[in-house]
């Protein structure tokens, strides 16, 4: 029989996030589904939670949670004295506020060349908020794509495409420059899938993501999920790779 593995995405119980009143007993772990990581991986969870005992980790987690809470506000609903929770902080402001809380001064932007204009605006916004900003475009170094074994027909230009030189994206270069500049926080801005994987693998400074590239949906990849029961129903039915 196949070994159980964590499948939180399929859970309908969510006893890890119960709506239990403060002071009341939490639902027992036995109520969680058999694939719950709290049942399957207690040792891993214990080890992970012990990491928060490190002073710097605990402080980062504490400030991140304060930042999270500050992204909401309680407002009158107009129904008696009942209050309702409203969101108030877009991710860009959340990033700025968190960076200030952490005492960061030097921020890095690792951006895709396709988001050059957005990077220019972000750079200005961050500088206006008092940060020193290092920014590195994915094409820095302008290496030829042949270097990683790409054939002409595998490039964006394709076999009959344009005749211009196609620089390879080098997320490793971006990461190493963030490392050598010793930025306090590297901000990912629209790197391609896979390129972001390499960046994260090589970057040794703290990272956050401001934008995930989505060429079709204006860098809002979740739009495909929101449309997966209508215009993008094919995502639910077709095997990967079929269009």
For ligand SF4, give the closer residue by CB, 25 or 56: 25
Give the CA dihedral 167, 173, 175, 180, nearest 10 degrees: -150
Query: Rule CB under 6 A: is residue 40 a binding residue for ligand SF4?
Result: no
For ligand SF4, give the closer residue by CB, 39 or 139: 39
- Supply 226's token pair: 């929101």
For ligand SF4, give the closer residue by CB, 26 or 121: 26
Query: Least separation, in Å, of the C-beta of 220 and ligand SF4?
Result: 25
Query: Least separation, in Å, of the C-beta of 43 and ligand SF4?
Result: 15
DSSP bridge partners of 144: 167
Residues 7-36 that bind ligand SF4 (CB under 6 A): 8, 11, 13-16, 32-33, 36
Query: Rule CB under 6 A: is residue 134 a binding residue for ligand SF4?
Result: no
- Supply 62's token pair: 């504490």
Query: Least separation, in Å, of the C-beta of 38 and ligand SF4?
Result: 5
For ligand SF4, give the closer residue by CB, 32 or 126: 32
Query: Least separation, in Å, of the C-beta of 31 and ligand SF4?
Result: 8
Give the number of other Cβ atoms within 10 Å of residue 47's Cβ.
Answer: 10
For ligand SF4, give the closer residue by CB, 11 or 205: 11
DSSP bridge partners of 135: 109
Please give the residue ranges that form the binding site for ligand SF4 (CB under 6 A): 8, 11, 13-16, 32-33, 36-38
């Amino acid at each position: 029989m196949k070994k159980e593995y964590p499948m939180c995405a399929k859970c309908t119980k969510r006893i890890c996030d119960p709506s239990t009143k403060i002071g009341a007993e939490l639902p027992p772990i036995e109520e969680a589904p058999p694939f719950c990581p709290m049942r399957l991986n207690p040792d891993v969870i214990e080890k992970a939670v012990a990491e928060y005992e490190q002073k710097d980790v605990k402080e980062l987690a504490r400030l991140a949670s304060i930042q999270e809470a500050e992204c909401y506000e309680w407002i009158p609903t107009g129904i008696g004295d009942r209050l309702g929770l409203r969101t108030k902080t877009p991710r860009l402001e959340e990033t700025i506020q968190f960076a200030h809380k952490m005492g960061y001064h030097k921020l890095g932007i690792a951006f895709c060349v396709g988001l050059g204009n957005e990077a220019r605006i972000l750079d200005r916004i961050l500088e206006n908020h008092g940060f020193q900003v290092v920014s590195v475009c994915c094409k820095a170094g302008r290496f030829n794509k042949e270097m990683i074994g790409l054939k002409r027909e595998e490039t964006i230009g394709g076999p009959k495409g344009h005749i211009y030189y196609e620089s390879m994206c080098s997320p490793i270069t971006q990461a190493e420059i963030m490392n050598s500049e010793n930025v306090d926080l590297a901000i990912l801005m629209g790197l391609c899938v896979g390129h972001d994987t390499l960046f994260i693998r090589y970057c040794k400074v703290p990272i956050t993501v401001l934008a995930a590239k989505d060429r079709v949906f204006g860098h809002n990849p979740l739009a495909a999920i929101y449309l997966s029961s209508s215009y993008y129903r094919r995502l639910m039915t077709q095997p990967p790779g079929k269009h």
